[in-house]
Structure 1
Amino acid sequence: MTSPIFALADEYITAYARLHPMFAGSVGIKGDFGVATDFGPEAVEERAELDRDTLAKLNALASTGPADDLARLHMAERLSVSVAQHEAGEWRRALRVPYGMLQSLVGYVDLAPRRTENDWRLTVSRMRAIPEMLATWRQTLNAGIEAGQTVARLQVSEGVKQARRNAGTRVFDKHVQAYGDGPQARDLREAAEAAYGAFNGIADYLEGTYAPHAAERDGVGEERYLLAARSTLGAVLDPRDAYDWAWDELHRIEDEMAAEADKIVPGAGLDEVIAHLDATQAVGTHEEYLAWLTEKHQGALEALNGVHFDIDPRLMNLDVEVVHGSSAGSAYYTGPSEDLSRPGRTWWPVAERETFRIWGELTTVFHEGVPGHHLQIGQTKVTGDGLSRFAKVFGSVSGHAEGWALYAERLSDELGWFADTGSRLGMLKGSALRAARVVIDIGWHLDLPLPAAEAKLHGERWNFDTALEVLKTRGRIAEHRAYPEIVRYAGWPGQAICYKLGERAWVDARAEAQAAAGADFDLKAWHTRALNLGPIGLDNLATVLRG
């Protein structure tokens, strides 16, 4: 489609890619935009000015039809909140662990293609760019020190660990070894060593220079939290209503978990059933784990296609990778490149594990793969002219994306896909985790009291230890994931709530459509229409689907 609004969206993506080459390379935007992003204050301001200028131009353009209306709605919502966050000074608080700069730099290198000698030159270039990018990032962190806008001490100490881990585990040696002794072997080794030196250097800076200025309190307070939630949800949040709802939802799920556990080992308690499943429904090697993951991903693709979804053939290729030495506590997904030459991929950190409790991970396969992130995010790349380029490569909304992925887990249950022993309990356990995330994230950052009954179990006020206990005992998270999850909530306010609140929005939207259509409701058609709309903030989701 060609229209002034779509043309503006295209211009924005090209301009943003020039200003942020690392973003362009990571998401696979077509074009030669260079390799290194400048993360210094002047460059950050230049990107913010692009947002402001594009928003002003967008507001002056007339719509030519429904596709334009959708493109305008989404661009205006995303750009507005981006500008608001910049003006609030959030850009100065640029350190976030584990999913932040230090993880993104590793991912940037890992996502480079490696088929030809030219591809390997790109890998070398991306590794060589890391010292430069970390140096400019340091300037922005210094601006935060000068303005009195720094992150909490926890993020700093964990950032030090993450940076040193990147160097200590030699995260890029796998690429050096994969290349072998070809003509660029020396360049690869030297680039990797320079990157490791830069990671150790930023760790020294964080520990010696930044840490003395770090904030003491992990919670960000209501004003900052609501702005963060607006960014992650695409919605104005009523935090106290969401907090109360999530406690009720957690209680409902816990009752259902108890009933499901009784079906597996009648008369046993939930902890006993989980221990039984851990002992009987697990694999013991990385190779078995990868084989199981690959089989389940491919099986889901084949079972869905043509039945509950029409999956574009280009999305039937989904890579699965087991990740060693990652700081991430949980699996994650990266979408296809803009031209689809790089397929979507799910990443599965193994940490120090040697045993993999697959009974609890099938639900995550559906979340990260299909019908979850891969289907939703991949669909935006193949929809065609109905979506703007902004929506296709830039405009994801966490509440929309994570809400869909959690809805996908629920849909998989409706389809009867949790037939393996314990796998439905694994799905419910995952849902309990997402409900626990909401109460932890809102309660901790806003310093809300725990309800009276919960206070007797966990204490009256939130802190790191309370959050960790609730996550373990009520969210029933795997031990290796618990600590990094709490670190993540502290550094990324408003993100942990996206799953459950996003799922609620998707479930409500489908229920509304079913009520309106009655016996004529077509689930496959509704799925197709919903995915073809691309990303939308939750405040606008029901309205757009209704229209």
Structure 2
Amino acid sequence: MTENAQPSATDGTTQAGHEPVRTPTAVDAVAEQWVTTLAELDPLVAVWIGGMPDSGGYGDFSPAGHEAYAEAAKKTIAALDALPAVDAVDEVTKTDLRASLALDLEEFDAGLHLRDVNVIASPAQGIREVFDLMPSSSVDDWETVSTRLGNVSGAVDGYIESLREGIRRGVVPAKRQVREVFEQAKKLADGDGFFSSLAANATPEAGQLPASLANELTRRAGEAAVAYQELADFFARELEPVASEKDAVGREIYAIQSRKFLGATIDLDETYEWGVEELARMVAEQESIADLIKPGAGVLEAIEFLDGDPSRKLQGTDALRTWMQETSDRAVDELSRSHFDIPDPVKRLECMIAPTQEGGIYYTSPSDDFSRPGRMWWSVPEGVTEFDTWRELTTVYHEGVPGHHLQLGQAVYNRAMLNTWRRQLAGTSGHAEGWALYAERLMQELGYLDDPADRLGMLDGQRMRAARVVLDIGVHLEKQLPDGSGPWTAEYAFDFMGRNVNMNDGFVRFEVNRYLGWPGQAPSYKVGQRIWEQIRDESRAREGAAFDMKAFHKRALDLGGVGLDTLRTALLG
């Protein structure tokens, strides 16, 4: 029985002979209804969860659609407030769902939906990205794909309507984000781009598409590309001329966004200073490892030495995908026998090369019935054909096991105790990404990064995440630079990041543009790791010799997705 489950809500039966099956409560019913409401307001939620009917539509990205969401959120808060919590599971659900919805309403009142343009996670990307998750094995699947292609134009129109309302109110994004997303939209508008490729490669596992459906896919793919051309034209003609010259969002908006991504309230000024200290610590640790790789070498010289080692290189994306899969499979097998109790459905993780070339590595959760497994995606930039295993080993652990896949896959599996919202939709970036960084360090503790080169790769990522804390808070709050020479600027941010990561200029450019347009998200990784480690260390101090790391991890993961304040309360009281 998990620590947060009480007998009053458990019927004594078990799931697969292990965990007690908890009887759903009235609070669970409200959470389940919220999932249903979300899927009605935004059909992409149904695709993400999987196992739900997919209409092939989109939510309403217009101001009216955002108003409808706000009204639904208010009703759900009222329903939660009217109900008592019957056990600790209910306490977590009420606390976390209510806090999440209240923050959504803060964002709505601040008009953030009217300026929602950034290079990685705005409707400009989301309207397209859903196609990556849609089933494509049958003719019926491709009919749904066709339906959604036919709805791209309407979704884009609603998005443009919201941005026009933002222009009317003077709530606009930064010019830098508009210009960058303009370029992304132009690529999607290309007649030989994503949409035409999607239609051209429409092949079910059995048989062929009817000619009528194939023709419809081609026509609708063309319409979708035209919609993105219209979006690009809107950006260039209407939005960019009135967009803000300033990248910084200021303390008020930043505080909202920080709480959104962490599910916790932090002291931004103290966190900035901690970030400066943490960055210095990462640099010192890297320098000590560099000497182990090549005696007397500094970090850059050690990296140059490793980059010249052909035994640590992969050539081509096929080799990259194969190496990722083999590395992931080995970690799952070994950790499931030694350090974690991993259910069989969660042991399956697919490593994929993404259909886009924007850069970045990401994870998508399994569908609710595990018919779509958890997947690790690598969006390889155009022209990149060579990969270094010493840089990327820790990435596989971060995205896979014991990182995102273990955490999120375990939550999906835990239907015996948790409602659908808790398993599939709850949680924050700080909770998930903080765990993934925590998992990287855990793999070092478990001996998986004993090779100094692999450990240097892990530290390279940890240094980048520490640098992002300093950069993100610094630039958006326009704080003084660490050396006191003046306030942060976007131009300094690009230089600062280039000095703290060993990546090409294209990667640095994309990453810094991401931070500038998505305030509060990038620091949530390292700050989340800090909070996870604080909770673990306090648990260890309280329990003394009785502390069991494996049991601690189980208690934490059995909670599913939560904000970090909720995590601390649930584990420490």
TM-score by length of 2: 0.92
Equivalent position amino acid for 2:127 in 1: L
Structure 1 CA distance for aligned equivalents of residues 365 and 537 of structure 2: 29
Q: Does 1:309 align with 2:340?
A: yes
Structure 2 CA distance for aligned equivalents of residues 34 and 476 of structure 1: 42
Contact 2:51 2:367 in 1 (8 A): yes
Q: Does 1:212 align with 2:241?
A: yes
| Shift in Å, 1:24 | 2.2
| Shift in Å, 1:295 | 0.9
Determine helix, strand or coil for the equivalent of 1:314: helix
Structure 1 CA distance for aligned equivalents of residues 363 and 438 of structure 2: 16
Count matched residues. Answer: 541
Contact 1:40 1:138 in 2 (8 A): yes
Q: Which residue of the partner structure matches residue 572 of structure 2?
A: 546
The one-character-per-residue Cα deviations of 1:383-422 (angstroms, maximum 9, x if unpaired) are 1232222212221211111100100101111111124561
The one-character-per-residue Cα deviations of 1:12-63 (angstroms, maximum 9, x if unpaired) are 1101111111232234262355522211111110011111110111111111
Q: Which residue of the partner structure matches residue 133 of structure 1?
A: 155
Structure 2 CA distance for aligned equivalents of residues 80 and 359 of structure 1: 43
| Shift in Å, 1:477 | 4.0
Q: Which residue of the partner structure matches residue 194 of structure 1?
A: 223
Q: Which residue of the partner structure matches residue 254 of structure 1?
A: 283
Structure 2 CA distance for aligned equivalents of residues 279 and 100 of structure 1: 39
Structure 1 CA distance for aligned equivalents of residues 388 and 498 of structure 2: 16
The one-character-per-residue Cα deviations of 1:190-231 (angstroms, maximum 9, x if unpaired) are 222111111111001111111111011000000010011011
Q: Which residue of the partner structure matches residue 20 of structure 2?
A: none
Structure 2 CA distance for aligned equivalents of residues 123 and 326 of structure 1: 21
Equivalent position amino acid for 1:265 in 2: K
Q: 1:491 aligns with which of 517, 536, 548?
A: 517
Q: Does 1:238 align with 2:267?
A: yes
Structure 1 CA distance for aligned equivalents of residues 500 and 487 of structure 2: 16
| Shift in Å, 1:98 | 2.2
Determine helix, strand or coil for the equivalent of 1:449: coil
Q: Which residue of the partner structure matches residue 533 of structure 2?
A: 507
Structure 2 CA distance for aligned equivalents of residues 134 and 26 of structure 1: 20
TM-score by length of 1: 0.96
Equivalent position amino acid for 1:275 in 2: E
Q: Which residue of the partner structure matches residue 535 of structure 1?
A: 561
Q: Percent identity?
A: 38
Structure 2 CA distance for aligned equivalents of residues 80 and 465 of structure 1: 35
Structure 2 CA distance for aligned equivalents of residues 61 and 484 of structure 1: 46
Equivalent position amino acid for 1:371 in 2: P
Q: How does 1:92-491 map to 2 (within 5 A)?
A: 92-168=114-190, 170-180=193-203, 182-183=209-210, 184-280=213-309, 281-327=312-358, 329-352=359-382, 353-420=384-451, 422-452=453-483, 460-491=486-517
The one-character-per-residue Cα deviations of 1:416-435 (angstroms, maximum 9, x if unpaired) are 11245611100001000000
Contact 1:35 1:125 in 2 (8 A): yes
Question: Compared with structure 1, are the counterparts of its residues 200 and 34 closer, same or farther at alpha carbon in structure 2 (3 Å cutoff)?
Answer: closer
Q: How does 1:9-48 map to 2 (within 5 A)?
A: 9-28=31-50, 30-33=52-55, 35-48=57-70
Determine helix, strand or coil for the equivalent of 1:356: strand
Equivalent position amino acid for 2:323 in 1: W
| Shift in Å, 1:173 | 4.0
Structure 1 CA distance for aligned equivalents of residues 430 and 571 of structure 2: 16
Determine helix, strand or coil for the equivalent of 1:361: helix
| Shift in Å, 1:156 | 0.5
Contact 2:54 2:144 in 1 (8 A): no
Contact 1:434 1:475 in 2 (8 A): no
Contact 2:292 2:452 in 1 (8 A): no
Q: Which residue of the partner structure matches residue 17 of structure 2?
A: none
Contact 1:74 1:391 in 2 (8 A): no
Relative to structure 2, which stretch is displaced further, 532-541 or 10-19?
A: 532-541
Determine helix, strand or coil for the equivalent of 2:313: coil
Question: Compared with structure 1, are the counterparts of its residues 32 and 68 closer, same or farther at alpha carbon in structure 2 (3 Å cutoff)?
Answer: same
| Shift in Å, 1:106 | 2.2
Structure 1 CA distance for aligned equivalents of residues 316 and 38 of structure 2: 43
Equivalent position amino acid for 1:331 in 2: I
Structure 2 CA distance for aligned equivalents of residues 36 and 388 of structure 1: 24
The RMSD of aligned alpha carbons is 1.6
Contact 1:444 1:463 in 2 (8 A): yes
Contact 1:25 1:35 in 2 (8 A): no
Relative to structure 2, which stretch is displaced further, 471-480 or 307-316?
A: 471-480
Determine helix, strand or coil for the equivalent of 2:353: strand
Q: How does 1:43-58 map to 2 (within 5 A)?
A: 43-58=65-80
